[in-house]
Amino acid sequence: MDNLKVMTNAQLESYAHMRGIDIADCSTKAERIEKIENHDGEANKVALQVMGVAVSISEDAMDDFEVLGWLGDITRKGDPTALPDLMKRLFRDDWQRIFDELKGDDYRLRTSKAAEFFAAIMEELNAKN
């Protein structure tokens, strides 16, 4: 976890927002830090096993304006360059582990495999809803 104590209130708010933590009810910096540190983000996550990789994703991950834009770029424009940003946003701190597990024998994550993985994630999420 980043060093929360050296962050400004604005940075804490941004950090919390990016992680889906509501700190609006906190009136002091100490309360914000405590709420972020004690947040149990697993309560609103869906656990999935896709292509041999265990992932968890926030139930409301798609309720994000930037995610919507990246999805549009991928589906409407056929632009795969939005996929890395999209996946980093969806999987947050867990992205590096997922990335490493998806890499091939040549230590690269091929675009086609990442796209297949993302499509499988979307299919699993739709099946759970």
Give the C-alpha separation, 117 to 35, whole Å.
Answer: 33
Strand ranges for 7-72 from DSSP E? 45-50, 53-58
* pLDDT single digits (tens) 62-91: 888 999 999 999 989 988 899 999 999 999
Secondary structure class of 72 (helix, strand, coil): helix
pTM of model > 0.75 = no
Which residues are registered as beta bridge partners of 83? Answer: none
Contact status, residue 98 vs residue 91, Cβ threshold 8 Å: yes
Reported as a pLDDT band with limits 50, 70 and 90, residue 102 is very high
Residue-level pLDDT at 2: 60
Q: Which residue has the higher pLDDT, 90 or 126?
A: 90
* pLDDT single digits (tens) 12-49: 988 887 777 889 899 999 999 888 887 754 457 788 99
Residue-level pLDDT at 1: 47
Residue-level pLDDT at 63: 85
Give the C-alpha separation, 2 to 17, whole Å.
Answer: 14
Reported residue count of the chain is 129
Give the C-alpha separation, 5 to 8, whole Å.
Answer: 8
- How large is the average pLDDT for residues 51-55? 94
